[in-house]
Amino acid sequence: MPLLEVNDNPDDLTQPSMSGLKPFADEDRSVAPPRKRRTERPTSGPAMDMARVRSRPGAPRSAPGKSAGLKPTAQIQYTRSEATTPPDYGRKLNRDEFDRLLRWMVEQDATDLHITPRFPPTLRVDNRFQPSQGRVFDPGEIEKVIYSILGDKERKEIEERQATDLSYEIDGVGRFRINVFRQLYGTSAAVRHVGSAIESLDALNLPSELSWLTGQEAGLVLFTGPTGSGKSTSMAAIIEQMNLTRQLHILTLEASIEFLFQNGKSLIQQREVGVHTPTFLDGLRDALRENPDVIMVGELRDLDTVSMAVSAGETGHLIMATMHANTTVNAVSRLIDVFPDTQKAGARAMISDVLKAVVNLRLLRHSSGRGLVPAVDFLKINNAVATLIRDNKLHQVRQVITTASGEGMWAFEKHLVELTKRNEVDYETAYQAAPDKRVFEQYAQSYQEERDAARKATRKRR
């Protein structure tokens, strides 16, 4: 068994070499200091026994549930005592104690909570995986408490597929998206905090240029990025702004309903796949007969769903959907690639006409070490981009984004420099996150030249 070393101290992280690069000259790099971190390390307890292990040279691998020559050799680094000391959850986990763990998760501003056999409850805080100092869970107690929150549909699904998704709510705390799945040692749950309030674009620290999306009448808008990058949260903010400012009929289709909307100027009707409609495809097909102005789709996953969404956009509806993609250009490519080779030419023509915008999101660690900051790539489909899509020249789209900021587009590299200027993200983190390092350096150099020119002008006036 290999050595398991969990080092979660950001002060110990080795930054990659970046020869010739340095933060902006004369920049005020002051940031809010992080909270005091706990430096002492626990030296005993079940949590330590789970993590500080290494097999003897030549020792056989352990069978499930057994140990073979294991001895502690490493320590988990606990960086925040308040986020690693869970509330008491007794000798056997029950429903009330499960809810108490979810409250603890929210209090620590964690995005995720992992409840799994043979390991203590674990949070993801500021994008760091942080095991707690609680006791190790027994497989039986997890199975019992998880089944107590499952409905008939979820129980049937986990028996058939060995996994299921559900929404869960605690009054006064918020909503949660839970994935329950079977693994080697039993049943596990991955809990994502959704929250109850729907934040505005400004509160989410997103560029104001995204407000342009709220005025669109028809077509397809994609929110893309890796898992946990804020796609659903950002899309909900756009829907809520429409709800408060326009008179529309809005339908939502989600695998599990996350955000609960209250009708404002708009009528919003929410449907959950598996509960209110069998599949995304069925829900989209039904929606076309339900007189909507806007249809929000939780995720575009397959050819049938993508084809129906594109057709709906062509017939005068505004479709807003999420998709897993690393960049805006990659999202367009993936949208086309779901079609068979014999249909790709026609698909490019359709998508060039119906696609209105692609938003790509990524969450980066704040320069203070506490909290996450969204970085955004915003692609509008103007005539130039539509022509490149139609002519299968997607490799040239990045150049359009970087040169069309006057049209409200927002290059990821540009936003990274903006975040660095505001001391929200440090220079090295921004550089490593930039898809095109050369473009990032150009934006950074341009900003530095502007600062130098402004200082010279100030000195002359004096």
Structure pTM?
0.71
Greater confidence, 276 or 405?
Answer: 276
State residue 63's pLDDT score.
Answer: 36
State residue 356's pLDDT score.
Answer: 95
- Whether 315 and 215 have beta carbons less than 8 Å apart is answered as no
For range 310-318, the mean pLDDT: 92
For range 436-449, the mean pLDDT: 84
E strand segments, 281-366:
294-297, 318-323, 355-365
- C-alpha to C-alpha distance for 171 and 191, rounded to whole angstroms: 17
Tokens of 245: 């400012």
Average pLDDT, the chain: 81
- C-alpha to C-alpha distance for 380 and 378, rounded to whole angstroms: 7
- C-alpha to C-alpha distance for 258 and 410, rounded to whole angstroms: 28
42 pLDDT band, cuts 50/70/90, is very low
Collapsed DSSP state (helix, strand, coil) of residue 411? coil
Domain boundaries, the chain: 89-196, 208-410
Highest mean pLDDT among 35-39, 74-78, 130-134, 162-166: 162-166
- Whether 241 and 214 have beta carbons less than 8 Å apart is answered as yes
Q: Is the pLDDT of residue 434 over 70?
A: yes
Which residues neighbour 269 within 8 Å (Cβ) at sequence distance 6 or greater?
Answer: 249, 250, 251, 252, 290
pLDDT-wise least confident of 80-94, 230-244, 336-350:
80-94
For range 422-450, the mean pLDDT: 86
- Whether 411 and 402 have beta carbons less than 8 Å apart is answered as yes
- C-alpha to C-alpha distance for 396 and 327, rounded to whole angstroms: 14
- Return the closest-CA partner of residue 261 out of 231, 238, 293: 238
| Residue 304 burial class via C-beta count within 10 angstroms: exposed 0-12, middle 13-18, buried 19 and up | middle
AA identity, residue 448:
Q
- C-alpha to C-alpha distance for 240 and 270, rounded to whole angstroms: 13
- C-alpha to C-alpha distance for 403 and 392, rounded to whole angstroms: 20
Angle between helices 412-421 and 437-461 (to 10 degrees): 40
Greater confidence, 355 or 399?
Answer: 355
Find tokens 């249809």 and name the residue.
Answer: 295
Q: Is the pLDDT of residue 287 over 50?
A: yes
State residue 440's pLDDT score.
Answer: 87
81 pLDDT band, cuts 50/70/90, is low
- Return the closest-CA partner of residue 344 out of 355, 356, 332: 332
Does the domain formed by 208-410 have CATH 3.40.50.300?
yes
pLDDT-wise least confident of 35-49, 352-366, 418-432:
35-49
The CATH number of 89-196 is 3.30.450.90
